[in-house]
Amino acid sequence: MSKMFAAFALIGLATAGLVGCASASGDGSSAELDKYTQTWGKQYSDTTCDDWNKVMTDAQQWAASADILSAARDKIDGATGVAPDELIDEFQSGITNVCVVPTMSLTDASYGLYTTEPRFKP
């Protein structure tokens, strides 16, 4: 297993959202921070593309995208902090685009997206 994949696998096991982290462009207010609250109860590695496309709400997808993207940028590429909202929006949309196999895990889908799209790197 490559070092990068191992780091991404650890990210996939996380279910704790980015609660308490301010947006890169936000003011850190309570309303601003609420969007990072993760209400999806499954681990990302146990979440399928079918879950992503048919069960998760937009807010759950967005919070998961923020969590996964920011963690990947931090752990794989040495960035710090939360990715900008616009990049999180693109990452969420990208996951939806690559999530075509219903049984594929969210971890696999997001890993593939992150590693093949340089725009998501810091």
In three-state secondary structure terms, 49 is helix
In three-state secondary structure terms, 48 is strand
Q: How many CB atoms within 10 Å of residue 33?
A: 18
- In this prediction, residue 93 carries a pLDDT of 98
Q: Which residue's entry shows tokens 């890169």?
A: 24
φ, ψ dihedrals at 97, nearest 5°: -65, -35
Instruction: Give average pLDDT by consecutive 10-residue segment, the chain, 122 residues.
Output: 47 41 49 81 96 97 96 91 94 98 97 95 93
- In this prediction, residue 20 carries a pLDDT of 35
pTM: 0.78
Q: Which residue's entry shows tokens 């996939």?
A: 12
What sign for the dihedral angle of Cα 45, 9, 86, 94? negative
**Total domains, the chain:** 1
- In this prediction, residue 30 carries a pLDDT of 63
| Domain with 15 in it | 3-120
Q: Which residue's entry shows tokens 């219903």?
A: 102
